Amino acid sequence: MRIRLCFIALALLASCSTAPTPTPAAVADSLVFSGQDGALSSTDLAWTPSPSDTLAGSDSVAETASGSGSCPNLAPGSQIVTLGSRWMMVHVPKTVPPGPLPVVIVLHGVLDSPLTIESETGFSTLADTEGFVAVYPSGVSASWNGGLCCDPAKTLQIDDVGFIDQVLDWTLAHACADKKRLFVTGFSNGGFLAQRLGCERAARFAAIAPVSATQGTLSCQPSEAVSVVEFHGTDDAVVPYAGGGLTAGLSVQATFANWQIRNQCKGSVDTVFQKGDALCQHNADCASGSAVELCVISGGGHQWPGSPQGPLPALGKMSTDINATAHIWSFFQAHAKP
């Protein structure tokens, strides 16, 4: 499963072939027993919710989307939830605190899966101690349409922004989610979609946290301020720090500057973390209490800093001087919607 991560750069160059369509049960079985991501055929790509589609229970899509469905206490641990032809893994903390819960959506990279990104980031372990719901959606053929990245979802024009809307609707109806504390993070291709969601769904997300991903859309006009924390290595060979490369995205510094402009930041950029190869700079004087932060890993590669599984093979240096998962959660905690 981790060996295929060595081929991320190659996958960004060309579209992947599409595997036969599995049934929801087959998808769940493959996740539980082999950890592999289920690919979907072109017949699944135009799915839209209808009252006959059900979501891991008896409530229909129409009920849950409107917020009129029930909001039961989900069983602690991880479970598979199907959304029509697509699916996600939902992790509920061992001890559920009273009141609405924060939700962190975690988006995997290309050729990756919900299980692997869960292991690489450790968000479920953190959710158990901090009391939030972690949600791991699955991309079509293990890819996301983040704008300029990545295939096959990009070429097929998959409406992944719409899919994440459905994910949010489900969590609000079934996971007792707090609509003021909806957050999204993602690695690589998943980070590109997180950037896009900041541009196109700022009204829903309180904050985004892309890792090893820059702005990959030609335009970005968020409807309101959204807080942003980004992580990037200066020696990332897959998504270059200076921009361009296989993904043709903006540079890291241009992406950082653009978010400050969009959020109408007026203050200075201050250093809030510095240890070893990790440096985080933060602008807190932004519209509606938002903030924009960039954590740079000097000499860092295409990695999730502080990953509990260690560095991904053949993708450069991983920092052990900062834990991206813990830092992102701390940032999210401080930046709920007003």
- pLDDT at site 295: 98
Q: Which of 149, 212, 210 is nearest to 185 (CA)?
A: 210
Residue with tokens 């985080």: 280
Give the integer Cα–Cα distance in Å for 50 and 57: 15
> What residues are paired with 135 via a beta bridge?
90, 105
Number of alpha carbons in the 13 Å side-chain half-sphere of residue 319: 29
Specify the DSSP class assigned to residue 73: -
Structure pTM? 0.83
- pLDDT at site 72: 58
And the tokens for 320?
């052990």
pLDDT along the chain (338 residues), means of 10: 41 35 31 28 29 31 30 78 96 88 97 97 97 97 96 97 97 93 98 98 98 95 98 97 88 98 96 98 98 98 98 97 98 97
Number of alpha carbons in the 13 Å side-chain half-sphere of residue 213: 35
- pLDDT at site 74: 74
Edge to edge, what strands does the sheet with 177-187 contain? 77-83, 86-92, 133-137, 101-107, 177-187, 207-211, 227-233, 292-297, 278-283, 270-275
- pLDDT at site 267: 86
- pLDDT at site 96: 83
- pLDDT at site 248: 82
- pLDDT at site 73: 57
Write down all domains in the chain, each with its CATH number in brackets.
24-33+60-333 (3.40.50.1820)
Q: Which of 143, 2, 21, 132 is nearest to 82 (CA)?
A: 21
